[in-house]
């Protein structure tokens, strides 16, 4: 059996993209500290 680990951004309502497939909402999220939000620890 294979194991899959997934690290993905999702909105509070559980979506990862808009209906048109874009994820512009994520690009607009302010991140002045340039944090990776735990991604390095996930690896």
State which residues form the domain around 35. Answer: 1-43
* Spatial distance between the Cα atoms of 43 and 36, rounded to a whole number of angstroms: 11
Give the residue-averaged pLDDT of 23-35.
Answer: 83
Q: Is the pLDDT confidence value at 3 over 90?
A: yes
Token duo for residue 19: 């209906």
Looking at the structure of the chain, the number of domains it has is 1
pTM for the whole thing?
Answer: 0.47
- Of 25 and 32, which is predicted with more confidence? 32
With a pLDDT cut of 70, the percent of the chain lying above it is 100
Contact 41, 7 (CB under 8 A): no
């Amino acid at each position: 059996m294979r194991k899959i680990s997934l690290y993905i951004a999702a909105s509070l309502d559980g979506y990862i993209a808009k209906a048109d497939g874009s994820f512009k909402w994520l690009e607009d999220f302010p991140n002045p500290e340039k944090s990776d939000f735990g991604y390095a620890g996930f690896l």
